[in-house]
Amino acid sequence: MTINNKPETEEYQLGEETLSTSHIQEEITTCTVHEQGSKRGKPLLVSSDGFRYNVKKKQNNSVLWTCSSRSVTVPCYATVIQKGNDFVRGASDHKNYPEVSLNQKISIYMQVKTKANENVYESTTAIAKTARQDHIQLNEPGLLKTETLARIANRKRAKFRQANPSDLNFVLDQDFLNCQDFLVADISQNNARHLIFATAEQLQLLGNTR
Ligand SMILES: [Zn+2]
């Protein structure tokens, strides 16, 4: 974290609390912005000391981030002011506890979510395992279990997947499947439905056999 000891600006007012950048932190803290890191896909700032922040206000080249711990029981007024690539902590101390390995955790989440959407047919367990291997250097049990991550990936996919058919009268959405010529026959007979799929190449091969 870069320490700027600038006088506080009038534009940053948060309720009754006045923000001050005069608070100097001894240890070096780095901040990472995950553009879609929040649970709702909004920007998330993660500090290396284990805190997450949401955007409170954007102004020109400045962003005011407030600690995501805003519960009624433990309201935290800790802030970070971002100016370009400089991040400066506000005066208020955190009321909540830091989270262990937070940056790693968010990086793994982000990778799982992105890959689940990009590779729709890849096993979510495989995606989860790779993400853990990519971000966890040491054997850190309990950081994020593969099964938990696989569930997150499945939930992410469920949003844009078709629902499973409940009876035989479902509509086969070929636009969604992105394979207009793959279905060659759709026959309903005697309470049964027969869907025949083939590629043009497969039909040609079949036509050439004797
Ligand atoms: Zn806090």
Helix ranges, 136-199 (H): 146-158, 174-177
pLDDT digits (tens, 9 = 90+) for 85-103: 999 999 999 999 999 889 8
Give 189 Cα–ligand 1 centroid separation in angstroms.
64
Q: What are phi and psi of 154, to 5 degrees?
A: -65, -40
Instruction: Indicate whether 166 belongs to any domain.
Output: no
Instruction: Indicate whether 95 belongs to any domain.
Output: no
Q: Distance between CA 106 and CA 101 in Å, rounded?
A: 9
Q: Distance between CA 121 and CA 150 in Å, rounded?
A: 13
Give 17 Cα–ligand 1 centroid separation in angstroms.
15
Boundary (domain end) residue, out of 89, 116, 138: 89
21/84 same-domain check:
yes
Give 58 Cα–ligand 1 centroid separation in angstroms.
19
18/40 same-domain check:
yes
Q: Which of 14-23, 72-81, 89-98 has the lowest mean pLDDT?
A: 14-23
| pLDDT over 50 (residue 8) | no
> Model confidence at 23, in pLDDT bands (50, 70, 90)?
low
> In Å, what is the CA distance from 34 to each residue of 1, 31, 144, 185?
16, 10, 18, 47
Instruction: Indicate whether 135 belongs to any domain.
Output: yes
Instruction: Indicate whether 94 belongs to any domain.
Output: no
User: What pLDDT is recorded for position 16?
Assistant: 46
What are the strands, taking DSSP E only, across the chain? Answer: 13-14, 17-18, 31-34, 44-47, 51-59, 62-67, 79-83, 86-89, 183-189, 192-197
What percent of the chain lies above the pLDDT cut of 90?
34
Number of structural domains the chain divides into: 3
For the chain, give percent helix, strand, coil, nearest 5. 25, 25, 50
Boundary (domain end) residue, out of 65, 89, 113: 89
118/144 same-domain check:
yes
pLDDT digits (tens, 9 = 90+) for 126-173: 999 999 888 887 666 557 788 888 998 888 887 767 777 888 888 887
Give 133 Cα–ligand 1 centroid separation in angstroms.
29
User: What pLDDT is recorded for position 12?
Assistant: 45
Boundary (domain end) residue, out of 31, 63, 89: 89
Give 104 Cα–ligand 1 centroid separation in angstroms.
19
26/85 same-domain check:
yes
User: Which CATH number belongs to the domain containing residue 44 in this structure?
Assistant: 2.20.25
28/53 same-domain check:
yes
Average pLDDT over residues 53-63: 93
Give 70 Cα–ligand 1 centroid separation in angstroms.
8
The whole domain housing 132 covers 102-158
Give 75 Cα–ligand 1 centroid separation in angstroms.
8
Give 23 Cα–ligand 1 centroid separation in angstroms.
15
Neighbours of 114 (CB within 10 A): 15
pLDDT digits (tens, 9 = 90+) for 110-119: 999 899 888 8
Instruction: Indicate whether 153 belongs to any domain.
Output: yes
Give 94 Cα–ligand 1 centroid separation in angstroms.
4
29/50 same-domain check:
yes
116/74 same-domain check:
no
145/79 same-domain check:
no
Average pLDDT over residues 31-58: 93
Give 85 Cα–ligand 1 centroid separation in angstroms.
21
Q: Indicate the average pLDDT of the chain.
A: 82
21/85 same-domain check:
yes
User: What pLDDT is recorded for position 166?
Assistant: 85
Element (DSSP H or E) covering residue 114? helix 102-118
Contacts of 76 (CB under 8 A, 6+ apart): 67, 69, 70, 92, 94, 95, 96
Give 91 Cα–ligand 1 centroid separation in angstroms.
12
| pLDDT over 60 (residue 33) | yes
Q: Distance between CA 57 and CA 37 in Å, rounded?
A: 17
Give 67 Cα–ligand 1 centroid separation in angstroms.
5
Instruction: Indicate whether 145 belongs to any domain.
Output: yes
Give 51 Cα–ligand 1 centroid separation in angstroms.
7
111/137 same-domain check:
yes
Give 74 Cα–ligand 1 centroid separation in angstroms.
9
Q: Among candidates 121, 144, 118, which has minimal Cα distance to 131? A: 144
Instruction: Indicate whether 55 belongs to any domain.
Output: yes
119/145 same-domain check:
yes
> In Å, what is the CA distance from 55 to each residue of 8, 58, 80?
19, 7, 10
Instruction: Indicate whether 148 belongs to any domain.
Output: yes
> In Å, what is the CA distance from 12 to each residue of 32, 79, 104, 128, 146?
21, 11, 30, 40, 42
Average pLDDT over residues 25-44: 84
> Model confidence at 1, in pLDDT bands (50, 70, 90)?
low
151/185 same-domain check:
no
User: What pLDDT is recorded for position 142?
Assistant: 58
The answer to whether the predicted template modeling score (pTM) of the entire model surpasses 0.85 is no
